């Protein structure tokens, strides 16, 4: 297979990326097609859909061989389950699947047409293999069982951003950051209330601490690199 597009997203690294698509709906990304696939007619009719499926490549080094079991972080990193019972990136083929909301089609940009989407769980520059419409009449299964992923999906944290930091952040970035931090981006087995964590996000270096059920943002400094 060959990639057809790449996404421009707020995360240059994987730390902080939501563990599933849709958990941080204020996160926006821009899907730019590679030159060979910038045919405007290829997107004819796509505006009729509210959501899309993205098939994409995990940005991890490809390994020799594969393991039939993995240690999901949500199980503390200690319990092994079958790789095909997880969405772990450590798979025989490094292919990811995400459902995103389609916000707009930018047909006038020099590198267009491009798709503006929200809720993606991808790092900046991720290669996209295919884009398909989400069909609610067949893709939605409210009665479905979520297995151990449903049982261990984790708590939602309260997020406190001091006013002096909030004033320096654009409103849309602040809103998306709150959604990201509420999902607790730390490894599941980390629970040190004194530890300071940091990650780059949308051109800012974010530093925070988790105490109990609250995330406190300590700083948000410009890095000069916007996703």
The DSSP result for the chain, as a single string, is ----EEEE-S-SSSTT--SSTTSSTT-EEEEEE-GGG--GGGGTTGGG-SEEEEEEE--SPPPSS--SEE--GGGTTT--EEGGGS--S-SSS-EEEEEEEEEEEE-SSTT-SEEEEES----TT-EEEEEEE--HHHH--TT---HHHHHT--PPPEEE--HHHHTTS-HHHHHHHHHHHHT--S-TT---TT--EEEEETTEEEEEEEETTEEEEEEEEE-S---
Note the pTM of the prediction, 2 decimals: 0.90
- Statement: residue 48 has pLDDT above 80: yes
Fold annotation for 5-139: Elongation Factor Tu (Ef-tu); domain 3 (2.40.30)
How large a percentage of the chain has pLDDT more than 70? 93
pLDDT of residue 40: 95
Q: Write out pLDDT tens, residues 132-191.
A: 999 999 999 999 998 887 766 667 999 999 999 999 999 999 999 999 999 999 887 777
pLDDT of residue 55: 98
* Overall average pLDDT of the 32-51 stretch: 97
Which residues of the chain form CATH 2.40.30.70?
5-139
């Amino acid at each position: 297979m060959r990639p057809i597009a790449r996404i421009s997203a707020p995360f240059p690294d994987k730390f902080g990326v939501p563990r599933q698509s849709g958990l941080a709906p204020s996160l926006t990304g821009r899907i730019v097609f590679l030159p060979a696939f910038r045919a405007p007619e290829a997107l004819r009719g796509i505006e009729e859909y509210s959501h899309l499926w993205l098939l994409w490549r995990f940005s991890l080094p490809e390994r020799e061989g594969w393991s039939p079991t993995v240690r999901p972080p949500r199980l503390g990193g200690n319990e092994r389950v079958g790789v095909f019972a997880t969405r772990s990136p450590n798979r025989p083929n490094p292919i990811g699947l995400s459902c995103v909301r389609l916000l707009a089609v930018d047909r006038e940009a020099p590198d267009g047409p491009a798709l503006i989407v929200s809720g993606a769980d991808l790092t900046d520059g991720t290669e996209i293999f295919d884009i398909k419409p989400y069909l609610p009449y067949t893709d939605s299964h409210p009665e479905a069982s979520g297995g151990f992923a449903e049982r261990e999906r984790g708590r939602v944290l309260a997020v406190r951003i001091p006013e002096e930091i909030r004033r320096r952040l654009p409103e849309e970035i602040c809103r998306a950051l709150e959604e990201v931090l509420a999902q607790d981006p730390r490894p599941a087995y980390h629970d040190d209330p004194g530890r300071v964590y940091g990650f780059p996000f949308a051109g800012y270096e974010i530093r925070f601490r988790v105490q109990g059920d609250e995330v406190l943002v300590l700083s948000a400094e410009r890095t000069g690199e916007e996703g």
